[in-house]
Structure 1
Amino acid sequence: MRNDFVHLHVHSEYSLLDGACRISELVSRAKALKMKSMALTDHGNMFGAIKFYECAREKGIKPILGFEAYVAQESRFKKEGGQERIYHLTLLAENNEGYKNLLKLTTSSYLEGFYYKPRVDKEILNEYSKGIICLSGCMKSEINQNLLNNDYDKALKSASRYKDIFGTNNFFMELQDNKIERQDELVNTAIRISQDLGLETVVTNDVHYMKPDDFFAHDALLCINTGKSLQDTKRMRFATNEFYFKSQKQMEEIFKDMPEALMNTSLISDRCDVELNLNEMHLPRFHPKKDSICYKPGITNSQFLRELCRHGALKIYKMIDKVIKERLEHELEVIEETNFVDYFLIVWDFIDFARKNHIPAVARGSGAGSLVAYVLGITNIDPIKYDLLFERFLNSERLSMPDLDIDFCAEGRDRVIQYVRNRYGGDKNVAQIVTFGTMKAKAVVRDVGRVMDIPLPVVDKVAKLIPSTLGITLQEALEQEPELRSMHENEKQIQELFNISSKLEGLRRHASTHAAGVVISDEPLTNYIPLAKNRDVVITQFDDVTLVEKIGLLKADFLGVRKLTVIDKAIKLIKST
């Protein structure tokens, strides 16, 4: 057989505290094994989709975008009675329509279906099934759970329902053999179901780590996730060390009697073809209010911006001399040439709201070099007086999104964000941005030490010996600290601690909300990106760099600064006495 096997069920570090594979490692391994393609199917999310897409294409590997969905037993809206059993289902984008449907499905799982996990149900799978290839899933799938309960008829009925949702050609019975008890029985029964329903089969390996000996580090990762000790025999764990990135030869050996199921990985790969138009701008259109200053019926946004600038310049300078006029004209020409008129109007609008509602706001950074920003009231530094360069902020020869960092009174920040939500269509069009906490050197040692049951004073000593240098690695700490190096060389337990910790170091640990970033659109964000929820806050699934530099959405920084709150209150107290 040619090198045609393709991994279609793969978890990266974005399967938080479950996947132990870095995307760069996955792609490099696929390249080394001469694989033409691979999929990314993280648990319930698409956090790493764009990073994987770009990394794979750079290496000449065809990326297949997807995720492993959690499927509710009944409705995704049912959220009572404690944690129910949820089923796993592998979803892959066959084309761009399928990719956009995946964005909507994972978004719905968080915004509508979240209950312990982000869940979809059959209703919404049916609504957004077009362009998606579905694999029946791992041992935790609905079909396999029914088979493990010795209920073939119910399993057949479940498979038939998924066949109806996705279509005969787009639903495959997924076969896995990780040397787990009863898994061979599941494989044989799944083949029987495929024959009864006229379906194809396909093999996967449910990749969670890179090599067999990474099993121990992955086991520790699961303990960190569940808060259990490695010594706990009743904890959740993977039964074997077979969930690694296997070669085609290894997969052929396991499934030597199922050549068609092996070949179907390649056929599915050939069918999956998603082309993302990255690095395009998708800026929202600004719509001036009829009661806005300088508004006139029929006025264009460029004209409106120019009128606001003229009005602001007269208010500040009393008269517009040649220097001011030429500087404004130059900046406005660049702003119009780069199509950022709406950007400036949007920022002006929410800062104007803040000022009118007595919420202190001040922009900082290279935007201070813009006279347009100054006369609009966005910044409060005169770039002419201080001879500041506009080109450091916006340059027609180096096209990139303007970046205005804006500090707001901490107590008023949420009011401004809510104003923007109301102005541009609510949570569907405006969201805060995700950020990821990572397992840095000191933190990963403490995490791993805890699940290894190493006495706290020992773990604490090791962690404190690691220098507090920003971004330091465990290897660098060993090189720099003689006492730490001595402990590592002479104590077997510390060697094991470092061996496991070094494999987990730098992995994503959790998702949270960016301190300042907000993304704004005038159409549903799910046309471009998936959304999630952190507590009650709607957030993006892509980070700020991806949103701005790759997807081309408008990002604004709304940083709540307590110092501004204190100053504001102090001024009010002074005025009241």
Structure 2
Amino acid sequence: MYLNNHSYYSLRYGTISEIELLEMAQQHGCDYFPLTDINNTSACLNFIRKAPSYDIKPIVGIDFRNDAKQCYVCLAKNNKGFFELNRFLSEHLHEEKTFPDQAPPFYHSLVIYPFEKLLASEKTTFLANEFIGVGLTDINKLRFSKLSEFTDKLVVLHPVTFRDKRDFNTHRLLRAIDTNMLLSKLPESQQGKPEHKMYPVTDIKKAFQNYSHILKNTEKLLRQCSIEFNFSKDRENQNLKTVFESIDADFEKLVELCELGLPRRYELITDSIRQRLEKELSLIKQQNFVSFFLINWKIIQYAKSKDYYHVGRGSGANSIVAYLLEITDVDPIELDLYFERFMNLYRASPPDFDIDFSSWDREDVTRFIFEAFGNDGQAALLGAYVTFKHSGAVRELGKVFGLPKHEIDKLSDGKYDPNKLDKLSRLVLKYARYLHGRPNYISIHAAGILISEKPIHYFSATHLPPKGFPTVQFDMHIAEDVGLYKFDILGQRGLGKIKDAIAIIKENHPEVILPNIHNAKPFFKDPNINMMIERAECIGCFYVESPAMRMLLKKLGVRDYLTLVAASSIIRPGVAKSGMMREYILRHKNPERRKQAHPVLWDIMPDTYGVMVYQEDVIKVAHHYAGLDLGEADVLRRGMSGKYRSREEFQAVKNKFIANCRERGEVDDVIFEVWRQIESFAGYAFAKGHSASYAVESYQSLFLKCYYPLEYMVATINNGGGFYRVEMYLHEARINGAIIHVPCINTSLIESTINGNEIYLGFQHLQGLEKRSMVKIIEARVHGLFDSLDDFMERVPLSIEQLDILIRIDAFRSFGKNKRSLLWEAYYKCNHVASDEFQKQLFKVNIKDFVLPEFTITDLENAFDQLELLNFTLYNPFVLLEKPPTSNLLTSNLVSYLNNIVVIYGYLITVKNTGTSRGDRMFFGTFLDQKGAWIDTVHFPPAAKKYPFKGKGIYRITGKVVSEFDFLSIEVIKQERMPYVSDPRFNVTYNRKGLPEKNGMSFGLLR
């Protein structure tokens, strides 16, 4: 009896989940039940998947609406009907067109027009698949309408959107949020009606007791519809099946590519290499994953043809086939990568390939994928749901209730006394709890692209977000459920650094012949690179530059590739928080400690001393320790994170894990400790191949930094830096012998440049300088360098505000005049010439040159100008202190003060905010001492609360010097940010002649 049912994927309208709808339908004794969300098909596949559990035969359709006005409700008679509805909806979403008053002639779908809509239309004829929907409130009008004559066309059309008054209130708030209106101003036309709820079937039959034919028509219409997708474990892989002419041709091509790759990758092709290759090829063919590899190969081939750099990661990095196809640069033979993590007979999904490109290249690669594989509508970006979070929901609800901003801020931040809240504030918090976790809008998965055998509209409608590529309306979990497996194409700044560094090296050192950066094996054995890793001198290098990684590298004493691979996974939150990072370090440094390992775990993971470090360790432990088959073990691994953990499949495997271990004689203390370790880290740890891929990229960037540090730092700066601010990379460049210059109008470009050992900052670093101003300067300079301020102002018309920025940063220093004189000139000339920065002057206007007094610019003034315009200074920040440091202690002295209290001055670089097991806040600080060396601090909760960080600057730190695994840090007892000297630009004194006094300060660069 229910043809028009909305879940909360009728975004900002519905209030009930698709599962709750099924529960309601079961309670009301339904055999058939449709889901018809408004202009959305997000919930359809999961609705179809779950319906049999409730003894419901699912039907799916769409409630087509222009804004909140209902046009017609359509039901798919079968899968073909679902396809045509999705296609129709997508066309209108992509082009942002309104839906026509009459539906197109669908061939496999049923169309139901609302009775009220037809009363106002002139429609008098109906196709075989078209019906008239009569609501409960329409019955009395029906008897007086000519529409009552269409006895075979009349069906019950009663919307189901709410369960109770709370749902209806929530709906009204959602509509107010969606329309950006105050709730009190929300018109009824934007709302549903309180009676749009699921009445018992008996009530509906009673309401239509004089129209039994309508009830029969409705039953008949429902029985015309059915839809099927396979969600079982043996479901068909729905990805594109062939890349070349046929499945056989694809496999022949894959074998051919592997044979071509063998001599490129291996100097000696051993029997173990051959056996591994044959094993993989056999299973890839058996699992019908050949096209998956070939598609990834074609993507890489295109990228290489464009000279795009890439890194292949994920579980696919465990594959020798991927290595030979150059999808990854990780040798699974060298690392003894676990084959079953890559693929096994129980695994329904293909291996993960996370392929990184530089952020600049990624969009073009995505465009290629859509052109190469999506001509028949077979490609789409993967969707993702953005759900309401408590803070955001509070802000949205506060606005629609009309609360002032300060009240909303107070509620959102949780800074209020519950006993002093007024009624409206309590309502905001109440409904924020209801909204929490519900879908708000559809976004785009960070990387996922679907390439299907069937047109993508067979599975979902698509919308067209700003990226300009069709995007499905469901997420990765639903995609996998139905047999669609994503291709992950990601953007990463680290690859941009490598690509740009190589280009800069070739320009700065044209005589140099660089090695093939994709062949990282020689880098693994380079003693200079490995000594650099051991010293943790990795600033700017991918994944190994953060304070936490620097600490780990030193604690472990990393000096080789294999240990760096382990470090890349150990640093992940789960391994660190579970205590396994510390245990690994202990066993790594102390062979005696290794004897404490559980004998079964030692046998399973000898390379990590019996400690779980990688994702595949979950599979190994589950399979060999708990006796689960590989399919169950993989369910366990997948279930350790996200939505999948709550599924019944995961719970069943967890129970079996515990039961099997007990049957094997393991004691509960050991079982639950092993389970705790698995549960604490599996969702955050990397697959070993994934860690190895990270380590390969780390070595690639470390090679460039080791031998070409200045060029690499320039590339790092031009790619947005990394973990740190730009000034840290300039500091690193200076340590390596660079001379840093502020931007110059005759030398600098938009990005930073290098010539020999001199680095010129790019115009892009100037706060407030507009991109169009930068472009004007570069374009004008094509016709020759500037020789005076007049020449510049004539050729580059800028506003005085833009000119002021360039003068104050000293960009005109090549003219031989100090910037105060130039500022006087510029302001005088701009005040006497009508200046329009978009219009060049037709005639050169001669302005009288006045003889200005001799001005003096101090280094202190320059430093403050740089702080304002660059957000950092190229001068030593310590000389900005109001009072000189009372302690000259340096990092290099700390070893002599172990376990003693010291006072040291540090320039704050970064702070990590974390929580203790009790929920208290604590911090890890990173500073530079007065000579530019690292200081690492630990701020336990009492000190963190009493002496909080107060932003950038120099701190006087009092604390105890401690050592863990030979890594020195300071446990802070007290800290205070030291005041800077007053800004001299706003505190100038003048002599009797009216000229500013010289203060005589001189700054040295931070060495």
What TM-score bracket applies, with the shorter chain setting the length?
A: 0.7 to 0.9
Deviation of 1:235 after TM superposition, in Å, equals 6.8
2:237 is equivalent to residue 281 of structure 1: yes
Alignment of 1:427-506 (within 5 A): 428-465=377-414, 487=418, 491-506=422-437
Deviation of 1:521 after TM superposition, in Å, equals 3.2
* Corresponding position of 2:314: 365
* Corresponding position of 1:135: 112
Mapped to 2, the partners of 1:462 and 1:298 lie a distance apart of: 60
Match of 1:210 among 160, 163, 168: 163
Mapped to 2, the partners of 1:298 and 1:230 lie a distance apart of: 59
Does the aligned pair in 2 maintain the 1:95–1:272 contact within 8 Å?
A: yes
Which amino acid is 1:426 matched to? N
Matched position secondary structure for 1:277: coil
Matched position secondary structure for 1:515: strand
Match of 1:231 among 177, 184, 209: 184
Moved more, 215-224 or 432-441: 432-441
Change (3 A) 1:37 1:502: farther
Name which one, 1 or 2, has greater alpha-carbon Rg: 2
Does the aligned pair in 1 maintain the 2:238–2:453 contact within 8 Å?
A: no
* Corresponding position of 1:47: 42
* Corresponding position of 1:75: none
In structure 1, the gaps of 5 or more residues are: 1-5, 72-82, 147-154, 290-296, 466-482
Mapped to 2, the partners of 1:205 and 1:429 lie a distance apart of: 36
* Corresponding position of 1:516: 447
Does the aligned pair in 1 maintain the 2:448–2:489 contact within 8 Å?
A: yes
Matched position secondary structure for 1:428: coil
Spell out, residue by residue over 1:288-313, the C-alpha distance to the aligned partner (whole angstroms, 9 max, x if none): 59xxxxxxx99822222112112112
Deviation of 1:528 after TM superposition, in Å, equals 4.1
Alignment of 1:98-497 (within 5 A): 98-111=81-94, 114-115=96-97, 117=98, 119=99, 122=102, 125-126=104-105, 129-137=106-114, 139=116, 141=117, 143-144=118-119, 146=120, 155=121, 157-160=122-125, 163-164=126-127, 167=128, 170-177=129-136, 186-189=141-144, 192-195=146-149, 197-232=150-185, 234=187, 236-238=189-191, 240-278=193-231, 279-287=235-243, 300-426=249-375, 428-465=377-414, 487=418, 491-497=422-428
Moved more, 252-261 or 370-379: 252-261
Does the aligned pair in 1 maintain the 2:238–2:454 contact within 8 Å?
A: no
Change (3 A) 1:23 1:234: closer
Mapped to 1, the partners of 2:133 and 2:78 lie a distance apart of: 20
Mapped to 2, the partners of 1:501 and 1:250 lie a distance apart of: 34
Mapped to 2, the partners of 1:387 and 1:367 lie a distance apart of: 14
Moved more, 419-428 or 254-263: 254-263
Deviation of 1:87 after TM superposition, in Å, equals 5.5
* Corresponding position of 1:539: 471
Deviation of 1:510 after TM superposition, in Å, equals 1.1
Does the aligned pair in 1 maintain the 2:10–2:37 contact within 8 Å?
A: yes
Does the aligned pair in 1 maintain the 2:349–2:485 contact within 8 Å?
A: no
Match of 2:497 among 566, 571, 577: 566
* Corresponding position of 2:51: 56
In structure 2, the gaps of 5 or more residues are: 509-1007
Deviation of 1:533 after TM superposition, in Å, equals 1.8
Which amino acid is 1:283 matched to? N
Change (3 A) 1:523 1:95: closer
Mapped to 2, the partners of 1:329 and 1:464 lie a distance apart of: 59
Which amino acid is 1:565 matched to? G
Deviation of 1:349 after TM superposition, in Å, equals 1.1
With a CA cutoff of 8 Å and minimum separation of 6, indicate the structure with the bigger relative contact order.
Answer: 1
Does the aligned pair in 2 maintain the 1:88–1:138 contact within 8 Å?
A: no
Mapped to 1, the partners of 2:317 and 2:437 lie a distance apart of: 36
- Percent identity over the alignment is 29
Moved more, 366-375 or 251-260: 251-260
Matched position secondary structure for 2:464: strand
Mapped to 1, the partners of 2:404 and 2:356 lie a distance apart of: 44
TM-score (norm 1): 0.81
Matched position secondary structure for 1:158: coil
Mapped to 1, the partners of 2:115 and 2:450 lie a distance apart of: 36
Change (3 A) 1:138 1:400: farther
The two structures, once aligned, show a CA RMSD in angstroms of: 2.8
Mapped to 2, the partners of 1:187 and 1:20 lie a distance apart of: 30
Spell out, residue by residue over 1:262-304, the C-alpha distance to the aligned partner (whole angstroms, 9 max, x if none): 4433332222222233432123244459xxxxxxx99822222
Does the aligned pair in 1 maintain the 2:48–2:228 contact within 8 Å?
A: no
Mapped to 1, the partners of 2:335 and 2:172 lie a distance apart of: 59
Does the aligned pair in 1 maintain the 2:69–2:189 contact within 8 Å?
A: no
* Corresponding position of 1:74: none
Mapped to 1, the partners of 2:299 and 2:14 lie a distance apart of: 41
Aligned length: 504
Matched position secondary structure for 1:331: helix
Mapped to 2, the partners of 1:199 and 1:298 lie a distance apart of: 50
Does the aligned pair in 1 maintain the 2:241–2:247 contact within 8 Å?
A: no
Matched position secondary structure for 1:385: helix
TM-score (norm 2): 0.47
Deviation of 1:565 after TM superposition, in Å, equals 1.8
Mapped to 2, the partners of 1:189 and 1:561 lie a distance apart of: 67
Matched position secondary structure for 1:66: strand
Matched position secondary structure for 1:392: helix
Mapped to 2, the partners of 1:277 and 1:233 lie a distance apart of: 43
Matched position secondary structure for 1:174: strand
Deviation of 1:218 after TM superposition, in Å, equals 0.9
Mapped to 2, the partners of 1:298 and 1:133 lie a distance apart of: 38
* Corresponding position of 1:150: none
Mapped to 1, the partners of 2:186 and 2:252 lie a distance apart of: 71
Which amino acid is 1:221 matched to? L
Which amino acid is 1:437 matched to? V
Mapped to 2, the partners of 1:239 and 1:356 lie a distance apart of: 55
2:12 is equivalent to residue 9 of structure 1: no
Which amino acid is 1:125 matched to? P
Does the aligned pair in 1 maintain the 2:315–2:351 contact within 8 Å?
A: no
Matched position secondary structure for 2:131: strand
Mapped to 1, the partners of 2:447 and 2:161 lie a distance apart of: 33
Change (3 A) 1:138 1:533: farther
Deviation of 1:554 after TM superposition, in Å, equals 4.2
Matched position secondary structure for 1:412: helix
Spell out, residue by residue over 1:83-124, the C-alpha distance to the aligned partner (whole angstroms, 9 max, x if none): 9x976101112233323332332233334x522x5x3575x7
Mapped to 2, the partners of 1:283 and 1:33 lie a distance apart of: 38
Change (3 A) 1:110 1:234: closer
Mapped to 1, the partners of 2:497 and 2:366 lie a distance apart of: 20
Matched position secondary structure for 1:363: strand
Does the aligned pair in 1 maintain the 2:262–2:324 contact within 8 Å?
A: yes
Spell out, residue by residue over 1:377-418, the C-alpha distance to the aligned partner (whole angstroms, 9 max, x if none): 111111111111121021123332222111111111111122
Change (3 A) 1:159 1:34: same
Mapped to 1, the partners of 2:202 and 2:454 lie a distance apart of: 48
* Corresponding position of 1:294: none
* Corresponding position of 2:657: none
Match of 1:23 among 18, 31, 51: 18
Change (3 A) 1:309 1:261: same
